[in-house]
Chains A and B, each alone.
Chain A
Amino acid sequence: MNNLLSLWLRQCQREWLLHLRQPKNLLYAAIFLLMVMVFFPLTLSAEPRLLREVAAGLIWIAVLLAMLLASERLFQQDYEDGIIEQWLASGEALGLIVLAKISLHWVLNILPILLLCPLFALLFNLSAYEMRILMLSLAAGSPAIIFLCALAQALSTGIKQKGVIAALVLLPLAIPIMIFGSASLRAAMQFLPVNGYIAILAALSVLAAVFLPVVIAMIIRISLAD
């Protein structure tokens, strides 16, 4: 048990340092998110009522895409540096390593997104209450999204058309999160209770966090069998 704990802490520390030494990457996802959100009023219409109607769906779609882009770095660098092979050779609990990596990635990536929420509220005419619900739902549902992104990235490490395959794999699987995530904001707009939605999002996140690291470890083993 001690072994696992120290492995966990070591990996978290490693990921923390990795991210801190390349701080720009955290911003890229946030900037992408911002750009996409600006695109929508430009391509749809600037009418406040319409923007409020579509805000829920648009924000969640944009967050999904931003997280997909941000997760490209999850395994690619380590794969190229041969770190993943060392993990396999070391015989340590790969699932735990993966969990540490993704958890830290989530913590560091969700922060810029949450910080942008006030700006989104401004752009799309959301009230303070709606903004809070948005942030809460994003915090509850984004772990599930990130684990699915990691799954998609693991599947596509080391093949030619990475980005497309990862997107094809991610999008259908992420549908429940998207449905309930955007529904929570729409419910907030109508002053309906949101507890149920947040609970479902949190449940999906827990499910993903528990099961997907093991699956991702399996995928990594198969991908690097040669």
Chain B
Amino acid sequence: MRAKIAFFSDPIDTMWKFLYYMAAPKNFYHTTRAWLPLLKYGALLFLPIGLGWGLFFAPPDYQQGDAFRIIYLHVPSAFLSLSLYTVMAFLSVLLLVWRIKLAGLMMTMVAQMGALMALLALITGGIWGKPMWGAWWVWDARLTSELILLLIYLAIIATRSAFDNPDQGDKLAAIMVLIGLIDLPIIHYSVYWWNTLHQGATLSVFAKPKIAAPMLYPLLISLLGFALYCGWVILYKARNELLLRERRQQWVRDVVEQGLV
């Protein structure tokens, strides 16, 4: 019985050990150095492939013609704006409960990227809507929800930047993230409900069509490309900020002198 429990706890143990190891700034910095090229080249590979395939080789849509190709920008960015929020929520918990300061720093970077993804989703959504519905903006449930998500991101970023003390700012922004997390489903539900009052039975232009395989694959590839890109940027910026925050430490001095910046 004991052997069985030990077998299951080993991978969990190593995971925790890894987490605590990585929570130390110096270890994090040196370990992630190798990750950067993976993310970078992954993004530079998959983004052009996915978007190029979607732009030129996927068959045009029956209803929307070639305009539907905007989906290869809109869906990945919208999806990432949401999933980055959950990443932020996870990092918030790491910061507030386990007091891992590095998590707070990363959360700030994730917030910036998440906001940009939400912005991209909104703009591509608007551009997509113009030929389809004749207006640059419609108070569609999904677009409105995305707009509110952007506003929440901006509120989090504003909260963080209002404080000069980074530790304080990170913690308060983390609380904002968690409050936003609880409020998001409520907001989502209320916006969708509000929208039914106005749209009635009209189908949203952004309702997910039954997407055929030749259209789906480039979507997945560009989604992967975007995700790798976001990971790359977040890691890059986080490492940069880490050097600045920890500049009083000896390991930073070593890094600078060895030219590893």
Q: Which residues of A contact B (CB under 8 A)?
A: 151, 155-156, 159-161, 164-165, 168-169, 171-173, 175-176, 179-180, 183, 204, 211, 215, 218-219, 222-223, 225-226
Contact flag A183-B197 (CB < 8 Å), given A155-B176, A156-B162, A168-B154: yes
Q: Which 10 A-B pairs have the closest CB atoms?
A: A176-B190, A179-B190, A172-B151, A168-B155, A172-B152, A159-B162, A176-B186, A222-B171, A179-B194, A169-B155
Contacts A165-B162, A173-B180, A222-B172 supplied; 16 other A-B pairs, CB < 8 Å? A155-B159, A164-B158, A168-B151, A169-B155, A172-B151, A172-B152, A172-B183, A172-B187, A176-B183, A176-B186, A176-B189, A183-B197, A215-B179, A219-B172, A222-B168, A223-B172
Q: Chain B: how many interface residues by the 8 Å CB criterion?
A: 27
Contact flag A215-B175 (CB < 8 Å), given A171-B151, A176-B183, A176-B186: yes
The smallest C-beta distance from B70 to any residue of chain A, in angstroms, reads 26
Q: Does B165 contact A (CB under 8 A)?
A: yes
The answer to whether A176 touches B171 (Cβ under 8 A) is: no
Contact flag A173-B179 (CB < 8 Å), given A160-B162, A222-B168: yes
Q: Does B193 contact A (CB under 8 A)?
A: yes
A-B CB contact pairs (8 Å), 19 listed: A165-B158, A165-B162, A168-B155, A169-B176, A172-B180, A172-B187, A173-B179, A175-B148, A175-B190, A176-B187, A176-B190, A179-B190, A179-B191, A180-B190, A183-B194, A211-B182, A215-B179, A222-B171, A223-B168
A202 to B32, CA, bound (A): 49
On chain B, the residues within 8 Å of A155 by CB distance are 159, 172, 175-176
The smallest C-beta distance from B138 to any residue of chain A, in angstroms, reads 18
A176 to B145, CA, bound (A): 11
